Chain A
């Protein structure tokens, strides 16, 4: 322990005091230095000794800013992805509406724009609702068209809405002709095995005429229902040729009723007569087979992508199922182990009640039953030993679940299912089943035999 003193070799000297005073004076002088000199000193310190720490803070701030920017950019990317995802639908709707708008301008006031909806209920297949009615000048049998061609026809008109049927309806008929006017016939719907196989047939054409695939079929205006010149579909092969007097051709429809959401419905009275819309739908404006094929390819690609997603989801689910099964298997093993322990605990008291070997005071009674043991109220199955081995000792018959063992009597519950079952003899069962009998004993009997 050093002595308490104010005079040590290091601090007690006058030199230390002088140095201290000098530093204190220097510190006081720094407070009264001119501003530029103070800032020069401070700047020199910041740029030399303290520079690494300033750089560290700058790096941290930049990293923090980048992290914040990353979050912002991620949120912005998510938003853009969602917008881009929805943009496809919007672009498609926009394209349809623009096409319909162009068509509406060409048609003038003779057609009313309408929104087409489907009830989607049973029995409403091939029918649709439009939000224009008699108040808008709609009348029954008014044609419904889209920018691509004929959609259907109005059947029932209410003041504010109308009900129509599209070309997939079995009652749909339309007088039609080839675009060049050389071949006339009737277009009708032909049901397939399921709705997706519904097709259009150009029926009743003259036998001597021949239509090449891809020929545009338009409404003929005959019959007074549909205006002339509305595209219906493209020839897609010969359907049938009957009796040497008529031919029918398959049509590839230009309009898909399922995706038609905005349509035009003709307004005006029947007295005005059918219109000629051939200038509105020139042949070069009709979708070609290539365009239809491209549409089909796009649809196939979409379905394939959805299918891939489904397969991936299915694989994920299968992985989860495997993991869950393994977990349940582990739980089953644990449960079986617990049940085995419980069964062992139940057997233990019964063993203690049996006479021990060498205990002469209480010889085992004949038949394995105590003399005073009450007979069970129900007849329990008795498992007898084999009699095929004459030299073998004859053990006493074993009664499973006998009351003498202390365990509860095993009672088969009443069968309320009324299922036809094969009769199983339960009163006498041989333990030594013949060789080759692969069937195992029932669980209850096997457990009783073990006792």
Chain B
């Protein structure tokens, strides 16, 4: 791992904050998906395999409370982590639009994969779940993610 300490501190803080808000405070969807944001930030710092491993660990943590679709989050986060690391080899950007797009698409793709993997009996209709719910959640997460990386400077630190 070659990222500076500020990025990893941000990632660790986001992970702790995610579980504190979602699990400790029980806020549910009111709190943004900071775990995916943390994964996407970490994926810009490490290789594809390491990012996949981080995604796998995060996914297992999410699946710890999933009774009907255990493993769906693990697969989705693993793929998103690997894809996030791969994007660094394809795109290098520090613009506001790129950050927002990266975080938005990463969150939306994660929801898409999860929606596909949870099975017919559990998932909600595509329009309701992905086009509406996931889009709003992705926008929310991207906004919060941009705010976080702006405050911490984690994104631009990783470009040095």
Contacts and interface: CB of A to CB of B under 8 A. Distances in A.
Interface of A: 1-2, 4-8, 10-13, 15-20, 22-24, 26-33, 38-39, 41-43, 45-46, 49-50, 52-54, 56-57, 60-61
Nearest to A11: B47
Contacts of A20: 48-49, 51-52, 78, 82
A32 to B, nearest CB: 7
Contacts of A12: 89
B56 A17 contact: no
Interface string B22-44: 01111000000000000000000
Given A26-B56, A27-B71, A60-B26, 13 more contacts: A6-B90, A8-B89, A15-B49, A20-B48, A20-B49, A23-B78, A24-B75, A28-B71, A30-B75, A31-B74, A38-B71, A46-B65, A57-B25
A22 B53 CA distance: 9
Contacts of A50: 19, 23, 61, 64
B20 interface: yes
A5 B69 CA distance: 38
**Interface extent on B, as a size class?**
35 or more
Given A6-B90, A16-B47, A57-B24, A23 B56 contact: yes
Given A12-B89, A23-B56, A46-B64, A57 B71 contact: no
5 contacts: A10-B46, A20-B78, A54-B24, A56-B24, A57-B26
Contacts of A57: 23-26
Contacts of A53: 19-20, 23-24
Tell me if A's interface is mostly helix, strand, loop or mixed.
Answer: helix
A6 B59 CA distance: 27
Given A1-B92, A53-B20, A57-B26, A30 B60 contact: yes
B50 A31 contact: no
Given A19-B53, A53-B19, A53-B23, A30 B63 contact: yes
A50 B71 CA distance: 17
Contacts of A28: 71, 75
Contacts of A42: 63-67, 70
B89 A23 contact: no
A11 B85 contact: yes
A46 B92 CA distance: 38
Contacts of B25: 56-57, 60
A23 B69 CA distance: 18
A186 to B, nearest CB: 85
Nearest to A31: B71
Contacts of B78: 20, 23-24, 26-27
A65 to B, nearest CB: 13
Given A15-B49, A27-B78, A56-B25, A33 B70 contact: yes
B23 A19 contact: no
A33 B85 CA distance: 28
B87 to A, nearest CB: 10
Nearest to B92: A2
A17 to B, nearest CB: 7
B102 to A, nearest CB: 16
Contact of B55 (A8, A23, A41, A43): A23
A45 B24 contact: no
B88 A11 contact: yes
Contact of A23 (B19, B26, B52, B117): B52
| Across the A-B interface, the 3 shortest Cβ-Cβ residue pairs | A19-B49, A31-B71, A56-B24
Nearest to A37: B70
A61 to B, nearest CB: 8
Given A28-B71, A42-B64, A23 B85 contact: no
Contacts of A49: 61
B109 interface: no
A56 B75 CA distance: 28
A32 B71 CA distance: 8
B79 interface: yes
B145 to A, nearest CB: 21
Nearest to B24: A56
Contacts of B74: 26-27, 30-31
A80 to B, nearest CB: 34
Contacts of A39: 67, 70
